[in-house]
Structures are given as structure tokens and as C-alpha cells.
Structure 1
Amino acid sequence: MTTAPILVIGLGCQRGCPASTLRALLDEALLAHGIALDQVQALASIDLKRDEPGLLELAGQLALPLTCFSAEQLAGYQGRLSHRSEIAFERTGCYGIAESAALALADQLGATSATLLIARQKGPKSTLALAVVE
């Protein structure tokens, strides 16, 4: 019997980014890749965003847990990113929040190493990536 893949959404956003903006980016990315929202198990970001109202509101709307990682934890994923942002590094100490956070949480939840199913997508004031563990 095969188990369903573990799907984790990583999110990055500027301060004050509304939940509606994050939700629009999420819906667009999932639709483009033929993934149903109910297949997503969790959301992830950087600990600098643990009190970000838009992220917390989105997690509440979707009834999904939001796990935040430190910049040090996320920096370890640098070699697995599709895109390295110097701006993100200057501001946070890691080269990509959405991809790194998605990979970090998927790795934590799965028995094998996670891969990016949806590489960094950029929306207004926000970024998103989706990692999977098969």
C-alpha cells in the first residue's frame, strides 16, 4: 500500500502582506500544477514571520499548521534552491525563504529527502514554493 505524498507550502512575504494576497498566490500555483488544496499538509516560513498577521490568518483559514524555522536552519538548504536571492540573504541570513522552509518542513515530516515540486513563485509582496516527499 502506498502512502500519499507529503506536500508542504513554503511562504515568504513582506511585512503587512495580507492573507488574501498569499491565498491568491497559493491558489494560482496549485491550480497551475493540478494540485488540490486538501493535499497540502502544512505551511512553513522563517521565524522572523512567526507573528506576521497575513501568514497566521492564512494558516487559520486553511486550518493548516504553520511551522517557522530559524535563518540558520534554512541556510543549510542553500544548495537545494532553484533561486538564490541576495536581498533575502541580506535581510534574513538565508538565500530563499519559501523554498528553504518548504524543504525543511517536508524533510522533517517525511522519511526521505524532500524535493521541490513547485519552485519559487513570486506574487505581490510574497513568494511561495511547494516541497514534496514521495
Structure 2
Amino acid sequence: MTDDRAAPTFVVGFGCQRGCPASTLRALLDQALQAHRIELRAVKALASIDLKRDEPGLLELARQLNLPLQYFNSAELAPFQQRLSHQSQIAFERTGCYGVAESAALALAELLILAPAKLMIPRQKYAQATLALAGAA
């Protein structure tokens, strides 16, 4: 039996365009994890901005992976602005947040580990989505 406490806690943050399918999000996730040699079972939760609360692709991906999906509003994501690898003016204009994927990943990771988190995989951009992965610093 493995001790889950020994396994790292990783959180994946997503930003996506309206109507982005779960298959696109899953392909981006698989590609990023494979490139960084991280096992899917190390991912403990998914995160995004509250504007995506009803996004079918995100909801479907969380169901497929059997992972909790947590949302944050732009005010909750704002404190992470200085830690982003990339600040998007377009994202800010649309969401009030300079980087949804990275901010959401950091916010949820810190909530889960009750300690500072860092980006393990900075913003990965795909046609319709962005992904970032955060974990214990």
C-alpha cells in the first residue's frame, strides 16, 4: 500500500475559451504531465475562475478524472499576480485576472497544502485553453 501523504499534491489550473471540449483539455493535461514526467495520480484537484463554473468541458474532465473542481473569483486570484510567469492583458480584460490557469492552480494548491505553493508547470497554451500546475514550494 502506498502512503498518499508521501505523494506530492499537485493542482492543475485551467483557463479556456467557451465551449472548449473535455478532449482538448485532457490532451493538454496529458501532454503537459508527460513532458514533465508527472503521473496523473499525483494531480489531486482542478481549478479555474468562477466565470467557468458552467463550462461543460471542465465539468466533464473533472468527472472523467474523478477529481474535485474548485473555482475562484478574480479577487481571490489577484494576490497571485506577481507570481505569474506571464501576465495577459486580454485575460485581465475578460476576467479581471492576469492569468487564470496559473493563479487558480496556485490558489488551490495553497488552500490544499496550507503552505506556499509554486508553479511546477508554468502556463501551457493550447488552441482553446491554458493549463498550469502548482504544488508545494
TM-score by length of 1: 0.97
Flag structure 1 segments of 5+ consecutive residues without an equivalent.
none
The amino acid that maps onto 2:85 is S
One of 33, 36, 53 as aligned partner of 1:33: 36
Q: Distance in 2 between matches of 1:93 and 1:111?
A: 25
TM-score (norm 2): 0.95
> Residue by residue, what CA displacement relative to the aligned partner does 1:7-64 show, whole Å, maximum 9, x if unpaired?
0000000000000000000000000000010110000000000110000000000000
Q: Which residue of 2 aligns with 1:79?
A: 82
Q: Please say if 1:52 is aligned against 2:29.
A: no
1:116 corresponds in structure 2 to 119
1:42 aligns with 45
Instruction: Select which of 4, 9, 14 maps to 1:6.
Output: 9
- Percent of pairs with identical residues: 67
Question: Following the alignment from structure 1 to structure 2, what is the Cα–Cα distance between the partners of residues 109 and 55?
Answer: 20
* Alpha-carbon distance, 1:78 to partner: 0.2
SS of the equivalent of 1:77 reads helix
After superposing on structure 2, the runs of 4+ consecutive aligned residues of structure 1 that deviate more than 2 Å are 1-4
Cα displacement (A) at 1:120: 0.1
Give the aligned CA root-mean-square deviation in angstroms. Answer: 1.2
Match of 1:96 in 2: 99
Gaps of 5+ in 2: none
Task: Please tell me the residue identity of whatever aligns with 2:128.
Answer: K
